[in-house]
Amino acid sequence: MMIIKTVKNILDANDRIAQDNRALFDAKKVFVINLMSSPGAGKTSLVERTIEALRDKYRIAVIEGDIQDTYDAERIAALDIPVTQINTGGACHIDGNMIREALPNFDLDGVDLLITENVGNLVCPAEFNVGENMKVMILSTPEGADKPRKYPLMFHESAAMIINKMDLLNYVDFDLEKAKKDALSINPNLAVFTVSCKTREGFEPWIAWLTSQLETFRNSRP
């Protein structure tokens, strides 16, 4: 019971910081994605593909969240995109305060789209707002179609589910229709996309949808 109370206090404190972050992002017209998935589902690869598709149109920045190491951040820096590494030091998610402390590393007046890549984890990241416009999650085909039912919060909180590693569909036991159906039963508003970061197939609908979300946000700001 004590533990539950502590966790609730932590979440309340986090929400206040996330709201401050959000107010800053609104003022600076920065659209923010909080990207989540299991370890190895393809978060960094999706960020790379999204940068490739949108870098001529929008100014993009990235925050990489990892327990330790800077491997993912180095991949993004190699694309000549502003990137900051958060090392959570054991914590299994990023939170509003970690993002707040990372923001002085960027010139937000020069950023249209900020992608925060969370720690690889299907559980806790969904509990912590960081001030994002939307959460986006990746489900990869080798993980199996039972994941929406087993980790429902992540599917409930996300605006979009990107099913990655479609190139492996013939080699794994993944029931694509079941995964979509179960995810939509948890969250009927979920936008669903199927891609392969490896073969680069399927990205047009995701990029078109993201562009539309981003433009709607920009048009809503003075």
Distance CA 80, CA 93 (A): 26
Q: Does 157 help bind a copy of itself (rule: CB under 8 A)?
A: no
Applying the rule CB under 8 A, the residues between 32 and 91 that interact with a copy of itself are: 38-40, 66-69, 71, 90
Extract the tokens encoding 137. Answer: 């999650």
- Reported in sequence order, the residue ranges of the chain that DSSP labels E, i.e. its strands, are 31-37, 60-66, 83-87, 113-117, 134-140, 160-164, 191-194
Strand 134-140 and strand 31-37: the pairing is parallel
Question: From the CB of 100, what's the least distance to a copy of itself, in Å?
Answer: 15
Question: From the CB of 78, what's the least distance to a copy of itself, in Å?
Answer: 15
Q: Does 150 help bind a copy of itself (rule: CB under 8 A)?
A: yes
Q: Does 205 help bind a copy of itself (rule: CB under 8 A)?
A: no
Q: Which listed residue (43, 135, 165, 180) binds a copy of itself by CB under 8 A?
A: 165
Q: Does 185 help bind a copy of itself (rule: CB under 8 A)?
A: no
Q: Which listed residue (27, 78, 92, 208) binds a copy of itself by CB under 8 A?
A: 92
Distance CA 37, CA 30 (A): 23
Q: Does 20 help bind a copy of itself (rule: CB under 8 A)?
A: no
Distance CA 101, CA 6 (A): 23
Question: From the CB of 212, what's the least distance to a copy of itself, in Å?
Answer: 30
Residues in the site for a copy of itself, rule: CB under 8 A?
A: 3, 6, 10, 38-40, 66-69, 71, 90, 92, 119-124, 127, 140, 142-144, 146-147, 149-153, 165, 167-168, 171-173, 198
